[in-house]
């Protein structure tokens, strides 16, 4: 029986593989699919990739292991787990602020993340209808012009009914699985959707390799251009490594609290971070051959996924089928991440107020729905509402961007800095040694990274986040890239 029902026992992952799949699902999200590949190609190719991997190893992995060991030792919600580690270390219980910030960050991210998840559901529906109307053998949207295809996205987000309704639908799906508990819901999502995600990712990548500009993609992503690795770009790679692993939102503390004592946290954390990095790299090999072969422009962000790619699928044999498979794959990644985000505040509420899981999920879900509706409406009826105009870095931003900025620029890096300081300097050394699964030189290296390197690097992310944003570099036009070969 779960803690949510009796208060006496706690649900756990049924196996190490279930935890690994759930943790990978938590980390692998939309940023892996649209942001990393475009940044890598535009900012030094192989040099950027190598620097990014170095950041994952030296910054992301140590913090990931730190969060997981807090959860495994505490066997409770994120704030309570921190308090238990602090108590065992004879330290102040107020260190729980690092997890409380993570719980709040997870809730805020969930609110606008489900809006984007709704956009993915919209395109799943669009491609399904296109297959029904036009068949499976031809390209997508054969009866529409490029302008009509690219207008689908702005038309959809410009509709209050579509954006709020799809947000509610995606959030409802997320809530359903979280309400069923760890072994009955969250683990089910991880064990079925993550393997399906990887299968679809590989199949679409193979399809693109045979039907697209695969050689151009390899050169675009992996040409070694160290001269492009300027200070700002290296900080961008560091930030991408940090955010890609979903650190600073108490997710791994929460998921770690369901891990049994028989699991080696060090090797498991390495596997999770490696899989997350592999997905980011393979995503580039999946997406860019399709974009390049259609002669379209590469860009980071929603435009690549929701405007450029649908247009590219028009030029491909079986484009509607490939497009449907692609957005189903993206939907799987979005759902596993949103489930992890919702579980963080739900677990906190269960422990804090001793309520049943279903009630906790409904209350948290309702709050996320309210904020999500405001975020969705910031693209249409509330487009002129800029709630934090009095803060220079948020000036002119709608509610969606404000939620994104608050979590990415404040809560996540501050929470991760506090985690590094807590584990590196405050937590009892014997407790940490027992939990982390490391020994000898590896343990000393990890401890040095957590104590010194991680806080400095994360502080740099925090400072850069408070600076005015520069105009992003123009990604090269795909047609020009292909012609240059």
pLDDT at 132 (0 to 100): 84
Say which range, 126-135, 264-273, 332-341, has the weakest mean pLDDT: 126-135
Contact 278, 37 (CB under 8 A): no
Question: 26-71, pLDDT tens digit by residue?
Answer: 999 887 887 788 788 778 788 888 999 999 999 999 999 999 999 9
Reported confidence tier of residue 122, pLDDT bands at 50, 70, 90 = very high
pLDDT at 403 (0 to 100): 97
Contact 314, 149 (CB under 8 A): yes
What is the residue whose two structure tokens read 């950027």? 48
Residue of 245, 241, 333, 324 lying closest to 283 (CA atoms) = 333
CA distances to 55, 264, 429 from 416, rounded to whole Å, are 15, 22, 19
Number of domains in the chain: 1
Contact 208, 215 (CB under 8 A): no
Between CA 315 and CA 419 the distance in angstroms is 48
Q: Is 91 helix (H, G, I), strand (E, B) or coil?
A: coil
User: In terms of C-beta density within 10 A (0-12 exposed, 13-18 middle, 19 or more buried), how is residue 329 classed?
Assistant: buried
Q: Is 110 helix (H, G, I), strand (E, B) or coil?
A: helix
Contact 458, 232 (CB under 8 A): no
Question: 6-26, pLDDT tens digit by residue?
Answer: 344 678 999 999 999 999 999
pLDDT at 469 (0 to 100): 64
User: In terms of C-beta density within 10 A (0-12 exposed, 13-18 middle, 19 or more buried), how is residue 167 classed?
Assistant: buried
Q: Mean pLDDT throughout 359-387?
A: 97
pLDDT at 479 (0 to 100): 39
CATH number, residue 7: 1.20.1740
Q: Is residue 3's pLDDT more than 70? A: no
Q: Name, in order, each residue with C-beta under 8 angstroms of 3's C-beta and a sequence gap of 6 or more.
A: 9, 10, 11, 350, 351
Range of the domain at 60: 3-483
Neighbouring-strand partners of residue 45: 224
Reported confidence tier of residue 212, pLDDT bands at 50, 70, 90 = low
Q: Is residue 371's pLDDT more than 70? A: yes
Residue 394: DSSP 8-state:
G
Q: Is 390 helix (H, G, I), strand (E, B) or coil?
A: coil
pLDDT at 480 (0 to 100): 44
pLDDT at 375 (0 to 100): 98
Question: 102-116, pLDDT tens digit by residue?
Answer: 999 999 999 999 999
Average pLDDT score over the chain = 90
Contact 249, 415 (CB under 8 A): yes
Task: Tell me how far apart the terminal alpha carbons of the chain are, to the nearest angstrom.
Answer: 62
Question: 269-323, pLDDT tens digit by residue?
Answer: 999 999 999 999 999 899 889 888 888 877 667 788 898 888 888 878 888 999 9
Between CA 267 and CA 191 the distance in angstroms is 20
Q: Is residue 153's pLDDT more than 60? A: yes
Q: Is residue 478's pLDDT more than 50? A: no
pLDDT at 7 (0 to 100): 40
Q: Mean pLDDT throughout 370-374?
A: 98
Q: Mean pLDDT throughout 432-451?
A: 92
Q: Is the dihedral of CA 125, 130, 132, 135 positive or negative?
A: negative
Q: Name, in order, each residue with C-beta under 8 angstroms of 371's C-beta and a sequence gap of 6 or more.
A: 108, 111, 112, 403
pLDDT at 34 (0 to 100): 77
């Amino acid at each position: 029986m779960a803690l949510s029902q009796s208060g006496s026992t706690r649900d756990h992952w049924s196996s190490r593989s279930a935890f690994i799949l759930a943790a990978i699902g938590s980390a692998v999200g939309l940023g892996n699919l649209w942001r990393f590949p475009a940044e890598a190609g535009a900012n030094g190719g192989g040099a950027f990739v190598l620097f990014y991997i170095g950041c994952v190893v030296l910054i992301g992995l140590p913090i990931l292991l730190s969060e997981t060991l807090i959860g495994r030792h505490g066997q409770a919600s994120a704030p309570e787990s921190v308090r238990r580690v602090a108590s065992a270390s004879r330290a102040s219980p107020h260190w729980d602020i690092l997890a409380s910030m993570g719980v709040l960050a997870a809730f805020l991210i969930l609110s606008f993340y489900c809006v984007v998840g709704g956009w993915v559901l919209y395109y799943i529906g669009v491609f399904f209808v296109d297959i029904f109307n036009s068949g499976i053998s031809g390209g997508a949207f054969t009866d529409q012009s490029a302008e009509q295809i690219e207008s689908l996205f702005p038309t959809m987000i410009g509709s209050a009914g579509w954006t709020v309704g799809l947000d509610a639908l995606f959030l409802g799906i997320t809530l359903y699985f979280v309400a069923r508990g760890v072994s009955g819901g969250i683990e089910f999502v991880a064990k079925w959707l993550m393997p399906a995600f990887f299968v679809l990712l590989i199949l679409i990548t193979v399809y693109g390799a045979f039907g697209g500009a695969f050689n151009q993609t390899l050169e675009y992503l992996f040409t070694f251009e160290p001269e492009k690795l300027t200070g700002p770009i290296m900080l961008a790679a560091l930030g991408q490594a940090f955010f890609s692993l979903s650190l600073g939102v108490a997710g791994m503390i929460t998921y770690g609290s369901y891990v049994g004592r028989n699991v080696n946290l060090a090797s498991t954390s390495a596997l999770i971070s490696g899989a997350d990095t592999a997905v980011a790299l393979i995503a580039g090999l999946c997406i860019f051959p399709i974009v390049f072969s259609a002669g379209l422009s590469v860009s980071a962000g929603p435009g690549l996924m929701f405007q450029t790619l649908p247009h590219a699928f028009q030029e491909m044999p079986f484009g509607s089928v490939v497009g449907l498979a692609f957005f189903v794959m993206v939907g799987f990644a979005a759902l596993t991440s949103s489930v992890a985000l919702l579980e963080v505040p739900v677990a906190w509420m269960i422990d804090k107020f001793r309520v049943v899981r279903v009630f906790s999920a409904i209350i948290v879900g309702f709050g996320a729905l309210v904020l999500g509706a405001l975020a969705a409406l910031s693209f249409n009826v509330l487009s002129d509402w800029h709630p934090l105009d009095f803060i220079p870095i948020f000036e002119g931003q709608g509610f969606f961007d404000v939620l994104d900025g608050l979590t990415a620029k404040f809560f996540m890096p501050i929470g991760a800095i506090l985690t590094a300081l807590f584990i590196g300097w405050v937590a009892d050394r014997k407790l940490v040694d027992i939990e982390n699964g490391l020994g000898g030189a590896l343990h000393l290296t990890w401890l040095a990274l957590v104590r010194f390197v991680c806080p400095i690097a994360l502080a740099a992310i925090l400072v850069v986040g408070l600076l005015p944003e520069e105009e992003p570099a123009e990604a090269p036009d795909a047609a020009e890239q292909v012609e240059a070969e």
